[in-house]
Structure 1
Amino acid sequence: MGLAWQQGPLSERGVGHFLTPEALPTRLLYAEPLRRRMRVRFGGSWIAESEDVVLLHEPARYPVAYFPLSDVADGVLERLEKVTRHQDLGETAWFTVSAGEASTPRAAWQHTGLPAHAQVLQDRVAFAWRGMDAFYEEDERIFGHAADMYHRIDIRRTSRHLVVRTGDRVVADTRSPLALFESGFAPRWYVSRADIDESALTPVEGQTFCPYKGLCSYYDVEGASKAAWSYPQAWQEVAPVRDMVSFEPDLLTVTLDGAPLALEPGQQVISHGIDRGLDADEVERVGTEG
């Protein structure tokens, strides 16, 4: 998703190409000012607050927010003996984060052996997202990871003919699907339940969490495991696909205007767990607000 994730331009499997006479390095890291006030809550307290956050985009990772040490509350960080080495940024020190009665080891880190070209991260610390209680931009909670300014979702109505089959059985047939275009992904096609033979769908226990769309539910389709999915309470930003269903073209036969669809390389999604202190009910409430 976004700049360095999935098939973004700085990922190691980008779908596009930089038009340069010489090949670029295999790994490109990109740091930029967030230009938004960001806050971290832990143990019932605000432990960091800054308008000078730097966002680091690293291949195959979600964006990471780095706070100036001067904007972290006193007594929150306790340096550990544990030291690791980042392949691009050098020696990395680790900290226990403590506030009130709460304490979590290895919940923050600082790159202490930075090369000269990465000094923008000097004297900055990052907090483990799921190790903290919550992160905020201004007074709004940010879910999943630091907001990727290059991640975008566009949803478009279309009259293209989408058909989903398993063997000889038609599971879905529509001339009014919605096309969801998401940064770093091939298009996904969503179908209204009115155009689906729902007797072919068997709900599966368990959900995954998308920081951009909300909680995702899955269905087996005629024995094909998790071959379809839906966002029953999709967040307001993607409300048009709320409770519609999308189908996996590598598990079912999906045709668009008669041409078969295939799962593009690199499109597998790494499931995102729900943030610490965030329950499913709260995620669903976000989907109904606005």
Structure 2
Amino acid sequence: MMRLLGVLRHQPTDKWVRARVGDRIVVDSRAALLLWEPRRIVPTYAVPDKDVRAELVAVEPVPESDLPVLHPGIPFAVHSTPGQTYDVRVGDEVRERAAFRPDDVDLAGHVVLDFDAFDWTEEDEPLFSHPRDPFSRVDARRSSRHVRIERDGVLLAESRTPTLVFETKLHPRFYLPREDIKAEVLPSDMVTACPYKGRATYLSFAVGENLAWTYPDPLPDASPLAGLVAFFDEVVDVTVDGVPRTRPDTPVAKVMKDEFGVS
């Protein structure tokens, strides 16, 4: 799969896809494509022109990106393949640079839309963050491993009943029962969304902001994670069955350092 990361890829989906701005339908398609731009690690939707119910206004694109990987934090307006960028006009509202038409003969007559600019549904269920990748799985498994989580010598959590989450292309995460949190939890107003698990709220501690997260009301496929707490292994010390684990080197580590001063 990683050998294909630098390739413009697309495949059809049988899902009924719609996008809205408020109560107004912007896209209504039963012939959408899942599309991966080169080096972009999550997909978005390309839909036939006839399924778009908004005005597309051609604008100057931002320069093409030469970043090695376009992770979800890189805006949609940054592209890695040639094409035409558009503003999307819906009545009196304008979503700037929210549409893109790649210069690819196989995608003629299709336009790609910014997932973050609209509210999306597959069939009648809302989507979060980006379309689900059909080549990704999220498997939650109850375990009896002994997990300790510390930072700067402070014990944050310890559990013998963790749930391990194995997600395609990512390292395992350890989700622990809330009662196994040993340190005082401080308030946080941070919220993020995952297309597979739902909306997450965050937990801070005296030794660092937003070190952990929980899904109070996860999506049905992630129901075993309801109320459990996971920590960013990138910035805490995890010991499993007495063996310390190496902190993974991921883009999350840079985000935690740049945004919250945690490393």
Matched residue SS, 1:205: coil
Deviations 1:196-219 (Å, cap 9, x if unpaired)? 2243x3232322222222232223
Farther off after superposition, 227-236 or 61-70: 227-236
**Residue 14 of structure 2 corresponds to residue 72 of structure 1:** no
| Counterparts of 1:28 and 1:96, CA distance in 2 | 25
Return the match for 1:110 from 101, 120, 142.
101
Alignment partner, residue 131 of structure 2: 146
TM-score (norm. length: structure 2): 0.79
Relative to structure 1, the CA distance from residue 131 to residue 169 in structure 2 (aligned partners, 3 Å threshold; closer, same or farther) is: closer
- Equivalence map 1:14-93=2 (5 Å): 27-42=6-21, 44-58=23-37, 59-73=39-53, 76-83=54-61, 89-90=81-82, 92-93=83-84
**Residue 138 of structure 2 corresponds to residue 160 of structure 1:** no
**Residue 242 of structure 2 corresponds to residue 242 of structure 1:** no
| Counterparts of 2:9 and 2:191, CA distance in 1 | 32
Matched residue SS, 2:216: coil
Matched residue SS, 2:193: strand
Q: Which has the higher contact order (CA 8 A, sep 6+)?
A: 1
Residue 98 of structure 2 aligns to which amino acid in structure 1? A
- Equivalence map 1:269-288=2 (5 Å): none
Task: Report if aligned partners of 1:219, 1:226 keep a CA contact under 8 Å in 2.
Answer: yes
CA-CA distance at 1:86 after TM superposition: 5.2
| Counterparts of 2:233 and 2:201, CA distance in 1 | 17
CA-CA distance at 1:33 after TM superposition: 0.7
Deviations 1:4-31 (Å, cap 9, x if unpaired)? xxxxx33xxxxxxxxxxxxx57712321
Relative to structure 1, the CA distance from residue 239 to residue 198 in structure 2 (aligned partners, 3 Å threshold; closer, same or farther) is: farther
Residue 49 of structure 1 aligns to which amino acid in structure 2? D
Relative to structure 1, the CA distance from residue 227 to residue 135 in structure 2 (aligned partners, 3 Å threshold; closer, same or farther) is: closer
| Counterparts of 1:52 and 1:93, CA distance in 2 | 21
**Residue 128 of structure 2 corresponds to residue 128 of structure 1:** no
Residue 99 of structure 1 aligns to which amino acid in structure 2? V
Relative to structure 1, the CA distance from residue 191 to residue 151 in structure 2 (aligned partners, 3 Å threshold; closer, same or farther) is: same
Return the match for 1:175 from 123, 139, 160.
160
| Counterparts of 2:134 and 2:85, CA distance in 1 | 27
Alignment partner, residue 214 of structure 2: 230
Relative to structure 1, the CA distance from residue 70 to residue 260 in structure 2 (aligned partners, 3 Å threshold; closer, same or farther) is: same
Alignment partner, residue 94 of structure 1: 85
Farther off after superposition, 95-104 or 63-72: 95-104
Matched residue SS, 2:222: helix
TM-score (norm. length: structure 1): 0.72
Matched residue SS, 2:221: helix
Alignment partner, residue 282 of structure 1: none
Relative to structure 1, the CA distance from residue 258 to residue 81 in structure 2 (aligned partners, 3 Å threshold; closer, same or farther) is: closer
Relative to structure 1, the CA distance from residue 225 to residue 98 in structure 2 (aligned partners, 3 Å threshold; closer, same or farther) is: closer
Relative to structure 1, the CA distance from residue 261 to residue 142 in structure 2 (aligned partners, 3 Å threshold; closer, same or farther) is: same
RMSD: 2.7
Matched residue SS, 1:130: helix
Relative to structure 1, the CA distance from residue 123 to residue 221 in structure 2 (aligned partners, 3 Å threshold; closer, same or farther) is: same
CA-CA distance at 1:122 after TM superposition: 1.2
Count of matched residue positions in the alignment of Structure 1 and Structure 2: 240
Whichever of the two has the greater Rg, that structure is: 1
Relative to structure 1, the CA distance from residue 165 to residue 145 in structure 2 (aligned partners, 3 Å threshold; closer, same or farther) is: closer
Matched residue SS, 1:151: coil
| Counterparts of 1:32 and 1:185, CA distance in 2 | 23
Matched residue SS, 1:202: coil
CA-CA distance at 1:169 after TM superposition: 4.5
Deviations 1:155-185 (Å, cap 9, x if unpaired)? 1011111122345543322221110111221
Relative to structure 1, the CA distance from residue 259 to residue 130 in structure 2 (aligned partners, 3 Å threshold; closer, same or farther) is: same
Relative to structure 1, the CA distance from residue 159 to residue 85 in structure 2 (aligned partners, 3 Å threshold; closer, same or farther) is: same
| Counterparts of 2:240 and 2:182, CA distance in 1 | 18
| Counterparts of 1:169 and 1:206, CA distance in 2 | 23
Deviations 1:131-155 (Å, cap 9, x if unpaired)? 22x2222222222222221222111
